[in-house]
C-alpha cells in the first residue's frame, strides 16, 4: 500500500520533470529554426530529453536520501529532479553559465551535484562502476547509504554494466541498477541487439535478484524499489530493476525518428505514466483543482529556474584552464602565451 502523500510527492517530481523537458525543448530550439544547426542557439550541443521516463526516476528516488548516491547517463534531467538536484543551477549548467552546477564545463550530459550525491556520465553504462564504488565506500565505512545506477536498456550489452553486476553481487554491495527500458537504443530496437527479452533475467547469471516492472506505473516502480533499496540498505546486496518507460521526444533533439514506426511513437504518447498517477491521486480524493495547483507550482518552479539561468553570466574564456587539478596545478600547456 502506498500512501497519498507519497503518490503526490512522486506526482510533483514527475510533472516538474515533464514540464522541464518541454520547456527545455523550446529553449533548445531558440536560434535553431528553420535551419537546425546543432551548435547554434541558447543551448548548443546534443540534448537528450527524458519525457516518458519520469516514473523510473520518481519511483526509485522516493526511497533515497541526500547521502545516497545516484549516477545517471546521458539522459539525466528527470533523475536529477527526483534526486533533488538544485534546479536553477542545473539549468544554468545546461545553458553553459558560470554559476551552473559545473561552471559551464560539464553541460547537460555531465551534471554533478555533490550536495545530493548526484553524478553523470555521457558514456553508455559507464556510470555503473562509480555507483558500485560509492556502495563500496558505504559498506567499508559501515554506513547505511546506498547507490543507484541508472542506465538505458541499450547499455545492458556493455561490459561495464555486466562487470559491475558481478562485482556488486560478489561483495553484497548496497547498489541498485535501474534500467530504463524505452525500447530504443537511438535507432536500434531491443530485438535487433539482444535475444534476451527480459533484462531482469540477466541478474540470474550473477546470483542477484532481478525485477521487471513492465509498465511505467510510478506506484509499481515505487513498490519494486522499496524492496530493492531496502535490501541494499539492510546489507543484503544489489538488485537489478528493469523498468519499462517510453521515449516521447526522440533520442536527442532534432532526431526525426525516420526509423521508428508511427504507431510506436503514438503508443508512447498514449501511455502516459503521469496521467495514470493523476488517476491514482483522484482515487485518493485529490480533486482536479488540487492537481492543477500541483502542476502550476511545478511550472512556476521550472520557469523561475529557466529565468534565473538566462540571467546568469557566461564563464570567462580563461576559466577553461581551471579545475584540471584540485590543487590548481596548471594544465601542461594551458594558459600560456
Residues found near other proteins in the complex (CB under 8 A) = 33-39, 44-46, 96-97, 100, 102, 104-107, 109-110, 121-126, 154-155, 157-160, 185-188, 192-194, 254-256, 258-259, 314-321, 324, 331-336
**CB 164 to other proteins: min, Å:** 13
Query: Is 156 or 221 the residue whose CB approaches other proteins more closely?
Result: 156
Return the DSSP state at 113.
Answer: B
Residue 75 makes CB contacts below 8 A (sequence gap 6+) with 48, 49, 50, 53, 152, 180
Take residue 214 and report the three cell numbers written for it: 513492465
Query: Is 43 or 178 the residue whose CB approaches other proteins more closely?
Result: 43
Closest C-alpha to 127, from 74, 63, 67: 74
Take residue 98 and report the three cell numbers written for it: 558560470
| CA dist., res. 132 & res. 52, Å (int) | 27
**CB 120 to other proteins: min, Å:** 10
**CB 80 to other proteins: min, Å:** 16
Return the DSSP state at 316.
Answer: P
Query: Is 109 or 277 the residue whose CB approaches other proteins more closely?
Result: 109
**CB 23 to other proteins: min, Å:** 19
Query: Is 290 or 314 the residue whose CB approaches other proteins more closely?
Result: 314
**CB 336 to other proteins: min, Å:** 7
What does DSSP say about strands 147-152 and 175-181: parallel, antiparallel, or unpaired? parallel
Query: Is 205 or 335 the residue whose CB approaches other proteins more closely?
Result: 335
Let me know: does 93 contact 120? Beta carbons within 8 Å: no
**CB 262 to other proteins: min, Å:** 9
Strand extents, DSSP E, the chain = 69-72, 118-120, 147-152, 175-181, 184-185, 188-189, 210-213, 239-244
CA 217 to chain centre: 16
Query: Is 63 or 251 the residue whose CB approaches other proteins more closely?
Result: 251
Take residue 292 and report the three cell numbers written for it: 492543477
| CA dist., res. 156 & res. 69, Å (int) | 20
Query: Is 58 or 167 the residue whose CB approaches other proteins more closely?
Result: 167
N-to-C CA span, the chain: 65
**CB 325 to other proteins: min, Å:** 10
Query: Is 44 or 133 the residue whose CB approaches other proteins more closely?
Result: 44
**CB 333 to other proteins: min, Å:** 4
Q: What are phi and psi of 71, to 5 degrees?
A: -110, 135
Amino acid at each position: 500500500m502506498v500512501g497519498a502523500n507519497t503518490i503526490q510527492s512522486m506526482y510533483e517530481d514527475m510533472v516538474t520533470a515533464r514540464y522541464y523537458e518541454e520547456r527545455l525543448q523550446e529553449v533548445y530550439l531558440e536560434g535553431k529554426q528553420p535551419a537546425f544547426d546543432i551548435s547554434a542557439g541558447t543551448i548548443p550541443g546534443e540534448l537528450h530529453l527524458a519525457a516518458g521516463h519520469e516514473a523510473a526516476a520518481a519511483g526509485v528516488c522516493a526511497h533515497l536520501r541526500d547521502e545516497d548516491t545516484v549516477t545517471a547517463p546521458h539522459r539525466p534531467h528527470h533523475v536529477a529532479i527526483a534526486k533533488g538536484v538544485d534546479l536553477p543551477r542545473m539549468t544554468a549548467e545546461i545553458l553553459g553559465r558560470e554559476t551552473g552546477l559545473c561552471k559551464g564545463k560539464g553541460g547537460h550530459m555531465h551534471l554533478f551535484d555533490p550536495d545530493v550525491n548526484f553524478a553523470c556520465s555521457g558514456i553508455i553504462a559507464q556510470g555503473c562502476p562509480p555507483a558500485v564504488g560509492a556502495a563500496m565506500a558505504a559498506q567499508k565505512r559501515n554506513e547505511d547509504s546506498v547507490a543507484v545506477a541508472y542506465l538505458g536498456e541499450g547499455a545492458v550489452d556493455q561490459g561495464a554494466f555486466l562487470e559491475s553486476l558481478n562485482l556488486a553481487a560478489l561483495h553484497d554491495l548496497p547498489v541498485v541498477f535501474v534500467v530504463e527500458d524505452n525500447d530504443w537504443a537511438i535507432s536500434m530496437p531491443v530485438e535487433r541487439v539482444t535475444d534476451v527479452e527480459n533484462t531482469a533475467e540477466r541478474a540470474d547469471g550473477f546470483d542477484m535478484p532481478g525485477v521487471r516492472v513492465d509498465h511505467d506505473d510510478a506506484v509499481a516502480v515505487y513498490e519494486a524499489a522499496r524492496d530493492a533499496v531496502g535490501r541494499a540498505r539492510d546489507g543484503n546486496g544489489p538488485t537489478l530493476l528493469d523498468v519499462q518507460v517510453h521515449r516521447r521526444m526522440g533520442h536527442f533533439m532534432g532526431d526525426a525518428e525516420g526509423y521508428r514506426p508511427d504507431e510506436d511513437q503514438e503508443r508512447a504518447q498514449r501511455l502516459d505514466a503521469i496521467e495514470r498517477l493523476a488517476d491514482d491521486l483522484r482515487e485518493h480524493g485529490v480533486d482536479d483543482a488540487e492537481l492543477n495547483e500541483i502542476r502550476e507550482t511545478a511550472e512556476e518552479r521550472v520557469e523561475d529556474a529557466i529565468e534565473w539561468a538566462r540571467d546568469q553570466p557566461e564563464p570567462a574564456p580563461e576559466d577553461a584552464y581551471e579545475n584540471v587539478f584540485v590543487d590548481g596545478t596548471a594544465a601542461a600547456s594551458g594558459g600560456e602565451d
